[in-house]
Every structure is written in C-alpha cells, then in structure tokens.
Amino acid sequence: MRVVVTGAAGFIGSHLSEYMLAAGHELVGVDGFTPFYGRDAKEANLEGPLSHDDFSFVEADLRSADLSEIVRDADVIVHLAAQPGVRHSWGDQFEVYTGHNLVATQRVLEAAVVAGVPRLVFASSSSIYGSAETMPTPEDVRPKPISPYGVTKLAGESLLHAYSHYGLSTAALRYFTVYGPRQRPDMAIRRFLTSAMTGASVPLFGTGEQRRDFTFVSDIVAATAAIAEGDMEGPFNIGGTNPVSLNELFDTISDVLGRQVNIDRQPALTGDPPSTSSCVQRARDAFGYEPKVGLTEGLTAAADWLEDVLIRDAEVSSV
C-alpha cells in the first residue's frame, strides 16, 4: 500500500512513519517544518524513516504547494500536519491556526479528490468536546469546543464530511492527550518530566485536580495504522481510557524518577477543560482497539528518551 503521511517529521507522524514502513508499506512523508519548535528536533525524528528504502520525503507547505502531484497514486493519506496547542490558539495567533488547520486541510482534501486518492484519515482531537458533561465521552456527544484550536479541529472534521460527497472515504481520529518519546517541548508531560529531571520550575495552571486521559504514542499509532489500512469511516475516539488528575500524574512521575516535579501553581486558563475521558467502544468494535501501555510504563519510556535529549543538548551547549 502506498501511504502519504503529512506532518511526518512531527511527534506522532515520525512514529507512524516507522510503524507503517515496518508493516511493509511504501510511504511518502510530507512536512513543512513550521517554526512552532526547532527544525533540528524534527530532522532527528526523521532519521529512522529516511534510512528506509521505501520512504521518500517531500518538504512542502501544505497551504501553497502542488499537493495533487505529491499525493498522486496514494492509496491513503494520513493527514497529521497541524498547528498544535490549545493555549497558543487565542488572540493574533488564530490566523496561524486557520492557515495550518483549515486552509491546509481543505487543500489536502482537494488534492485527494483531484488525484483520485480513495481514502483520507484525519487527526482530530478530544479538544472538540470542550467541557463535555458525559464521561467517558462517546463520539455521538455534541461537540462544543472551548478553545480556538478545538474549533479548527472540529471545522476540519466538517471539511471531511463535505469532501465525502466526492466519494472520498474519510475517518477522523479524536486523539486524547498523547504523550511519549519525541513529544514537543511545549507538551505537558515533557515539561513536567524536564522539571523533575533538572529542578526547573514549571507552571501548573489550576488546582491539579483536572483529569486527563493520557494516551501513549504507540497506542495512538497502532490505532491510526489500523484505520488507514481499513475502510472504517466517521469519527473514532482514541484514548488511554484511564484518566488521572495532574496531581496523580506528579506522584507517578516522582515514583518513576525518584524526584519531584517543581510546581509553580498558577490560576486556571481559559479553554482548559476540567476533565477528559474517552469512550473507545466504537474503535473497539470496529478494529479491536485496546490501549496497551499504562501510565507508569509510558512515563518510563518518555523519561528515558528525554534524558538522552537533555544530555545531548548539554553537550551541544558546552561546545
């Protein structure tokens, strides 16, 4: 199968690329190296895929490139590329989010139709649910995003529905709080682990009793690959199914590392839901989804990777 992965140099995209290549697929990775975080980290993410004979890479801005030529002859597009982050999506930055999360998504969908690609899988987010009252939250709960980022992800799903009228088979994966090796520097678990490892203070917005359905990246990748290889359509929640409070997360980090997170408590932020919890029954019924990596195991893997990153960064800064 020929697969196009957008955002291939990113956190999830690089892991998915390696997984799909190991499964025997031919893969075209696309990334625009947007400046949300350092290019060097993204290039490091690509080292594994680039060593594979069945991988080719295209650096392209999805908002302006000739995408129909890039995706031509693909059996499926997995559209992961996006402008991430709830907290950065307010104010003047919203224009950046509409460009990368709406304009780019529409252009990828248009290219799929023009090039005759039969299927597209879209990375959505649990942020579309906002402060959902039903816990665990199933896919048929009415989405009510409470952040501009969540709004752009829900709009992306609406674009999928619109383009399905051209005969394009689509699925939207609503990821719940993904973590693991190669996390972006702004992501919560990476910041908390860094604090415990270095002693640096890290802000905690709110009481710490807000709960999150943390999902390890390998579970996200396995589910995404299963959807890409299949013909299932519509929205699917992909979560860890065992929400914990941030205070419980800090305790687990302390158990894993033997050191505490240095917390600077701050007022809660607008757009931050009090709790997230995934109902994954639809994914379970469709392709047997079951998260396999628990929080302690996942934090250990993330910490091992981050320790190597911190050592490498220290060596570079000392030169």
pLDDT, one tens digit per residue, over 157-207 is 999 999 999 999 999 999 999 999 999 999 999 999 999 999 999 999 999
Residue 16 counted as domain residue: yes
Residue 33 counted as domain residue: yes
Using DSSP's 3-state secondary structure scheme, residue 59 falls into strand
- Percent of residues, the chain, with pLDDT higher than 70: 99
pTM greater than 0.95: yes
Distance CA(280)–CA(23), nearest Å, equals: 24
- The domain of 152 spans 2-182+215-240+278-292
Please report the pLDDT score of residue 318 as a whole number: 62
Q: What's the pLDDT tens digit per position in 88-129?
A: 999 999 999 999 999 999 999 999 999 999 999 999 999 999
Name residue 242's amino acid.
N
Helix (H) or strand (E) holding 305: helix 295-318
* Catalytic residue list contains 149: yes
Catalytic residue among 97, 129, 149, 175: 149
Residue 24 counted as domain residue: yes
Distance CA(246)–CA(263), nearest Å, equals: 11
CATH of the domain at 165: 3.40.50.720
C-beta of residue 228 within 8 angstroms of C-beta of residue 76: yes
Q: Please work out, in degrees rounded to the nearest 5, the angle formed at the alpha carbon of residue 159 by the alpha carbons of 154 and 160.
A: 95
The count of domains in the chain is: 1
Residue 263 counted as domain residue: no
Residue 163 counted as domain residue: yes
Task: Select from 98, 10, 102, 1 the least CA-distant residue to 49.
Answer: 10
What are the tokens at 88?
A: 């950065």
Please report the pLDDT score of residue 270 as a whole number: 86
C-beta of residue 5 within 8 angstroms of C-beta of residue 211: no
| Tokens 């029954």 sit on residue | 281
State the pairing for strand pair 211-212/244-245.
antiparallel
Q: Name the band, by pLDDT with cuts 50, 70 and 90, for residue 317.
A: low
Using alpha carbons, list the distances in angstroms from residue 85 to 92, 145, 179, 271: 14, 13, 13, 11
Q: What's the pLDDT tens digit per position in 258-270?
A: 999 999 999 998 8
Residue 254 counted as domain residue: no
Distance CA(222)–CA(47), nearest Å, equals: 20
Q: Name the band, by pLDDT with cuts 50, 70 and 90, for residue 251.
A: very high
Using alpha carbons, list the distances in angstroms from residue 76 to 93, 155, 161, 234: 31, 21, 17, 15
Residue 309 counted as domain residue: no
Where helices occur in 36-175 by DSSP H, the ranges are: 39-45, 47-50, 67-71, 94-98, 104-115, 148-163
Residue 135 counted as domain residue: yes
Q: Give the chain's mean pLDDT.
A: 97
Please report the pLDDT score of residue 199 as a whole number: 95
Q: What's the pLDDT tens digit per position in 43-98?
A: 999 999 999 999 999 999 999 999 999 999 999 999 999 999 998 999 999 999 99
Is the pLDDT at 213 greater than 70, yes or no? yes
Is the pLDDT at 319 greater than 80, yes or no? no
Q: What is the mean pLDDT of the segment spanning 247-254?
A: 97
Where helices occur in 23-147 by DSSP H, the ranges are: 39-45, 47-50, 67-71, 94-98, 104-115
Q: Name the band, by pLDDT with cuts 50, 70 and 90, for residue 297.
A: very high
- List 170's β-bridge partners, or say none: 120
